[in-house]
Amino acid sequence: MSRRILVVCHEGRADAVTAADRVSTALRGHGIETVRNGSAEGAELVIVLGGDGTLLRAAEVARAYDVPLLGVNLGHVGFLAEAEPEALPSVVAHVVAREYTVEERMTIDVTIRTPDGREQHDWAINEAAVEKGERARMVEATIGVDGRGLSTFGCDGIILATPTGSTAYAFSGGGPLVWPDVEALLVVPIAAHALFARPMVVSTSSELQVQILPYEETHAVVWCDGRRRLDAPAGSRIEVRRGVQPVRLARLSQAPFSGRLVAKFNLPVHGWRGNREPS
């Protein structure tokens, strides 16, 4: 049976297009069919060449067919990517030999219930960000967990994130770093006018709720992974729970997450001496 791989790149970047051409040519040289920026149906793997934005776009395509993603970072941080551009020959070699493992990353399912009875549904691998709809006004909202209200405040936004998203928008908002294999959901208020507005980490068996207060001037929007916008007018209720379908990521090595943190954030570890044998 022939092998088929989808290659996704940022077509507006010359370096990404060049890298995609190199990867496609190399794979075809090994008898593997490649498709550029198309459907993931029937694909063994999706190779993504670009930054995290390109990988998030590819996740929308791959998740629909439960196909794993393998990212090559051509952006800035590239936290979801597995390799850097100079490793392209090695990436191709691993793919040809099927020398990669697949890990599952938890997603969240998002439901917005508006006062007129409409429902909107979406999902995210990083976060659902509830943000103010107008620059000059705050979002007035109540946050709750499992149907019980916790606090009401005005704020610039509220981030509802996965462990994968803890290194993205939630991290910039002051949230904690959470290892990707930890079963958790994060709530990170942004610039909240309240005494109790600290980041929270809750169980994946819980449901997170954000109630937009029914003030005429209050209007919010919800961004799923910064890509898909949903309107949440005054009186809307946003519900977030653990997603039914994960996103699958292909890994070429079993390096620990701590090593990825150090490399991606360029963290200073010059004083670390490693584990010592007992005397």
Give the residue numbers annotated as catalytic, written as ranges: 52
Question: Which letter does DSSP use for residue 236 in this model?
Answer: -
Quick one: residue 235, left, alpha or beta (phi over 0 = left, psi -120 to 50 = alpha)? Answer: left
Pairing outcome for strands 139-145 and 148-155:
antiparallel
Question: Which letter does DSSP use for residue 177 in this model?
Answer: P
For the beta carbon of residue 85, count every other beta carbon within 10 angstroms: 16
What is the residue whose two structure tokens read 């390799």?
Answer: 83
H or E stretch covering 260: helix 257-265
* The one-letter amino acid at 8: V
Asked if residue 32 lies in contact with residue 23, where contact means CB atoms within 8 angstroms, the answer is: no
